[in-house]
Chains A and B, each alone.
Chain A
Amino acid sequence: MTFSYRIRRKRVNRSFWGSFSLFVLLAAFGAFMILPLIYAINNAFKPLDEIFMFPPTLFVRNPTMNNFIDLMNLLGNSWVPFSRYIFNTVFITGMGIIGHVLLASAAAYPLAKHKFPGKGFMFTIVVLSLMFTPAVTAIPTYMIMSWLGLIDTYWAVIIPAFAYSLGLYLMKQFMEQIPDVLLEAAKIDGASEYRIFWTIVMPNVKPAWLTLIILLFQILWGSDGNGFIYSEQLKSLHFAANQIVQGGIARAGAAAAVALILMSVPITLFVFSQSRIIETMATSGMKD
């Protein structure tokens, strides 16, 4: 494998100046992408006088944990205990992810592997729904939530997440590459469709699980209740964080600390699941 790769690299002409200019392009835009994040990370460790210093600096000079201590004090005094916000976000994120992975996989399996009336129509609608944002449906969704009596409950955020369309789409595309022989063999052995789904299909699509998990994690972790949740004790971590961020100059340090904590979770998750996610995305293409 490495051998043939090397031959290719030698055969196809890679000019030095071509490589050099592409490298410069990559470095310049890489810096543009990463510098604001580095700035955000450094800010979290800056003492307040360094955050408001002229000329402003990118990197911290006298790193301190004061911002985190401030944040803890601030949270210790909040009306609703801070652990409650954490519980709310973890509960919403956890339930949403479990439900979505199960439901989307169950629906993706027949769409990927069976032939039945209505299949093309259903999948077309799911693809169409990738083409507009949830903002389009915000008002009727609120009405439906209130008819169902879900306003001001966790479920108003969790249940719609179950039916997130990008997840079904990616899962279905990934399942298509499972060899049919595998499923046929199980069928001949007398396994039911549900058994095949649970014991053969599901273990084979683990990379896609991870992808669905991280996609949904991003949405739910950053959710502020979508306007459905009013009770302070049900509100999310993200909502509490926003209140701190809006606290102005006196809270600039604590806000920077919150930002660091909020961003580090999804980034860490991605670092550990990157190769699996790329594997899933390889099948994401739209065939006619």
Chain B
Amino acid sequence: MQNWWSLKLREMKANKHSYILLAPYMVLFAVFTVLPVLISIVLSFTYFNMLEFPKFIGWQNYTRLFLEDEVFLIAVKNTLLFAIITGPISYIACFVFAWIINELSPKVRAVMTLVFYAPSISGNVFFIWLMIFSGDRYGIANGFLLKLGLILEPLQWLKKEEYILPIIILVQLWLSLGTGFLAFIAGLQTVDRTLYEAGAVDGIKNRWQELWYITLPSMRPQLMFGAVIQLTSAFAVADVSIALAGFPSVNYAAETIVTHLIDFGTTRFEMGYASSIATVLFMIMVGTNLIVQKLLRKVGE
């Protein structure tokens, strides 16, 4: 044991420069990412209102969350709904469009990449959807349907519970071809060309077989990276919900775990309770990601 420690210590001393290079980043990373997660978990077991010292109350926040807070259950339902729909669809869309774009000539490829990627980097321009779905007849959606005679008076798109969720999903999908999409475009360009030639010799007949037997397995690392990016953003729906449906939304129709967290953390100042919401969200996100990573590791095995 003594030996093992002294060995490690000597190894660490030999790599002194590595630690010095790492230190500035890691210190900040610890202070602003690791420490907050730990504090959040600890606070979730307390009653804390920012004024008095936190008081330990055991599992009370969690029992309240799951047994008494009906809005939280709506939030969980909505968040899972968003994640189950936008997660896989956006992931597949990222791949499919990257795959189609990859077959185009370099010039057209660059333009199409921009077309699909632009919405996700345009900042808060998604409020343009407010004008498309505005409740008066000047909104594009209403104007179009009125002109066709399909509806007789403008619909209150963002005030009716049954329209809110589909619209947020639509906008979320519009915004979702981001970093994951770029990673796929890049990944497709690095697939070894000789593999395709060898595949053709081995009897691969069409593009679908080529995709399944050659392209997908050689892109596994990018597929795993893309999954993390798409899943994490699919669980984090909040900005779009607040911008389009308001905060709080009609009858909490568009409440998500993140908006619920914002509600308790910044409006009601129930920090202990808000921390338990954050901890649940953390567990759901990291848990799902780890499971999906396990599954993706099996692609093409």
Contact = CB atoms under 8 A, between A and B. Distances in A.
Interface of A: 4-5, 7-8, 11-15, 18, 22-23, 25-26, 29-30, 32-34, 36-37, 39-40, 43, 51-56, 58, 103-104, 106-107, 109-111, 114-117, 119, 122, 125-133, 135-141, 143-144, 159-160, 162-163, 165-166, 168, 192-194, 197, 214-215, 218, 221-222, 227, 238, 241-242, 245, 259, 262-263, 266-267, 270-271, 274-275, 277-282, 284-288
Given A33-B116, A133-B233, 14 more contacts: A13-B205, A18-B208, A34-B115, A37-B122, A40-B128, A55-B144, A107-B25, A131-B286, A139-B40, A140-B36, A159-B32, A259-B127, A262-B122, A274-B110
A221 B123 contact: yes
Contacts of B156: none
B207 A12 contact: yes
A103 B28 contact: yes
A30 B137 CA distance: 26
B124 interface: yes
B39 A162 contact: no
A259 B186 contact: no
Nearest to A288: B297
Given A18-B207, A281-B186, A11 B200 contact: yes
Nearest to B42: A140
Contact of B125 (A106, A135, A162, A262): A262
- The number of chain B residues touching the other chain, given as a range, is 35 or more
Contact of B197 (A11, A267, A280): A11
Given A107-B25, A125-B34, A8 B200 contact: yes
Among the interface residues B18, B174, B282, which one has the most CB atoms of the partner chain A within 10 A? B18
B122 A139 contact: no
Contacts of A14: 206-207
Interface stretch (B57-65, B160-168, B221-229): B221-229
Contacts of B73: none
Interface of B: 8, 11-12, 15, 17-19, 21-22, 24-26, 28-29, 31-37, 39-40, 43, 93, 96-97, 100-101, 110, 112-119, 121-125, 127-129, 131-132, 137-140, 143-144, 146-147, 174, 177, 179, 182-183, 185-187, 189-190, 193, 196-197, 199-200, 204-208, 210, 219-225, 228-229, 231-233, 235-236, 238, 258, 261-262, 265-266, 271, 274-275, 278-279, 281-282, 285-286, 289-290, 293, 297
Given A39-B132, A163-B28, A135 B261 contact: yes
A139 B278 contact: yes
Given A103-B28, A139-B43, A130 B232 contact: yes
B143 to A, nearest CB: 4
A40 B112 CA distance: 19
A43 B128 CA distance: 10
Contact of A53 (B116, B138, B285): B138
Contacts, number: 304
A165 B229 CA distance: 12
A277 B114 CA distance: 12
Contact of A55 (B131, B143, B265): B143
Going nearest first, the 6 A-B pairs with the smallest beta carbon separation are: A285-B221, A137-B36, A281-B186, A110-B18, A107-B25, A116-B15
Contacts of B93: 29
Contact residues of A: prevailing secondary structure: helix
B28 A110 contact: no
Nearest to B14: A116
B232 A133 contact: yes
Contacts of B197: 4, 7-8, 11
B86 to A, nearest CB: 14
Contact of B114 (A110, A163, A274): A274
8 contacts: A12-B206, A15-B206, A54-B137, A54-B143, A106-B21, A116-B18, A138-B262, A278-B186
B108 to A, nearest CB: 10
B189 A278 contact: yes
Contacts of B199: 12
A278 B185 contact: yes
Contacts of A262: 122-125
